[in-house]
Amino acid sequence: MNIQDNYLKNKKNIFFSENKDIQTHREKLIKIFENDGFDKKNNESLKNINLKNFIDFKYRYLISEETSVINNNQENNYSIVSVNGQCSSFKDDKIEITKIIDEDYNDFSKNETIENNDHFVNLNSLFLNSGFKIVIKKNNNISIKISNIITDDDLTIFQKNNYICEEGSSLNLIEEYENKNNSTSNILNVIKLEKNSQLNHFLIQDNSPYHNLIITSHSSCKKDSTYTQKVYNFSEGYVRNFHYSELIEANSEADLQGIFFLKDNNLSNNKTFVKHLAEDCKSNQVYKGILNDSSKATYFSNTHVDQVAQKTEGYQLSKGILLSDNASYFSKPELKIYADDVKCSHGSTIGPIDENAIFYLRSRGMSKIAATKILISSFINEELSSIDNEQMSEIIQKKLVRYLSKVK
């Protein structure tokens, strides 16, 4: 079934299909699909993907009987269980959680460059069927942990979440994606950081081989705000991590990090895009990947420095280790710079584990496997040791041990 028929058939289950403006926009998106038709050749972000699963899919969505749970067990600590992308409303003096409304649709989804280049965001806009909005109120410092649960097989979740950190607030956000059923989640997070606010965003992804996770986020930072994102991908299924960040006012900062651990036939597509639109901003993009068996990964990073964004510091780093003959890694670290007083750099390396280092460890009595494991751990140690949340650190260590146990 093509996308248009699919949409028309399921229209009544899709959010905001009554809204005229949104309807017009969706018609436009359908046109883009028809004209471009997921042209793999001219859209490198579609590299290696088996598109059939995403174009010709069976739309199915359930509002689960299980309701989401919001707990405020400790002061300033909230835990949320979101079920099939839905979350019930909640309000206290620190945060407010509501369903997304028509107006939220416009954020990021209506963006010309994205419309033409990122078809998965378009799919999300077209079939939107869930999502929530969280507002962190002024000058509060809180932590939220969100567990994303999907209740049934063969569900297609198209979810859009909006996060707003009001002035002076600080949020520690941990998102867990651990699903064992074979569903597809297409999630779009739109994050707004007001003046002097902070968001530390952790994403832990550990899905079963048949679960597809497409996660896109967009953050915009106002004056003196900082957005930090750390993605840990242990999934055995397909994962797409695309993250866009805009530094729209002076002295803001974006730090996007990611580590992916791949094995078997797994594929992971990654992209980070930082747009410097004001002066004195900093950005950092670091992605590291370990690829075993026949796994494949792509990483696109892009730093765009606008003409007015003087005194910019923008750094990119991409590193990949190939553990097997059949693994492949494609990386494209791109710089686009229109201002002259900037410090920007990128580095990219792909290779096997250093043989000399293996030799060193083996000559001290270690087996080859043990040496390899130690060197893999040290490859990502810098990122892991920078996690200042003990609970998080423990979870990730455990998953790392599990991954390493499969390395031969």
Partner 1 sequence: MNSETLDTLDSYSKNKYKYGFVTEIANEKPNKGLNENIIKFISQKKNEPEWMLNWRLKAYSKWKQMKEPKWANLNFPEIDYQDIYYYSAPKGFEKKPKDLSEVDPKLIETYNKLGIPLEEQKVLAGVAVDVVFDSVSVATTYKGELEKLGIIFCSIGEAIQKHPELIKKYLGSVIPPGDHSFSALNSAVFTDGSFVYIPEGVKCPMELSTYFRINAENTGQFERTLIIADKGSYVSYLEGCTAPKRDDNQLHAANVELIALEDAEIKYSTVQNWYPGDEDGKGGIYNFVTKRGLCAGKNSKISWTQVETGSAITWKYPSCILKGDNSIGEFYSVAITNNYQQADTGTKMTHIGKNTKSKIISKGISLGKSQNTYRGEVSFLRKADKARNYTQCDSLLVGNKCGAHTVPYIDSKNNTAVIEHEASTSKINEDQLYYCRQRGLSHEEAVSLIVNGFCKQVLQELPMEFAVEAQKLVSISLEGSVG
Q: Provide the binding-site residues for partner 1, judged by CB under 8 A.
A: 307, 310, 320, 322-325, 327-352
Residue whose pair of structure tokens reads 């998106």 in the numeric block:
29
The nearest distance, CB 378 to partner 1, in angstroms, is: 18
Q: Which is nearer to partner 1, 22 or 259 (CB)?
A: 259
Q: Which is nearer to partner 1, 195 or 346 (CB)?
A: 346
Angle at 87 between CA 142 and CA 204, to 5 degrees: 60
Q: Which is nearer to partner 1, 76 or 307 (CB)?
A: 307
The nearest distance, CB 216 to partner 1, in angstroms, is: 22
The nearest distance, CB 345 to partner 1, in angstroms, is: 4
**Euclidean distance between CA atoms 210 and 219, whole angstroms:** 29
Mapping DSSP to helix (H, G, I), strand (E, B) and coil, where does residue 270 land? strand
The nearest distance, CB 326 to partner 1, in angstroms, is: 8
Measured CA to CA in angstroms, residue 385 lies from 196, 378, 390 at distances of 26, 10, 10
Q: Which of 273, 346, 275, 345 is nearest to 309 (CA)?
A: 275
Break the chain down into helix, strand, coil percent, rounded to 5.
25, 40, 35
Q: Which is nearer to partner 1, 29 or 281 (CB)?
A: 281
* Beta strand residue intervals within 166-281, DSSP E: 170-177, 184-193, 198-205, 212-221, 226-233, 239-247, 253-262, 267-276
The nearest distance, CB 344 to partner 1, in angstroms, is: 4
Q: Which is nearer to partner 1, 62 or 350 (CB)?
A: 350
DSSP H stretches of helix in 44-190: 52-55, 102-105, 112-117, 119-127
Q: Which is nearer to partner 1, 213 or 291 (CB)?
A: 291
280 touches 249 (CB < 8 A): no
The nearest distance, CB 314 to partner 1, in angstroms, is: 9
Mapping DSSP to helix (H, G, I), strand (E, B) and coil, where does residue 86 land? strand
**Euclidean distance between CA atoms 219 and 201, whole angstroms:** 11
Q: Which is nearer to partner 1, 328 or 389 (CB)?
A: 328
Residue 262's DSSP bridge partners are 291
The nearest distance, CB 290 to partner 1, in angstroms, is: 11
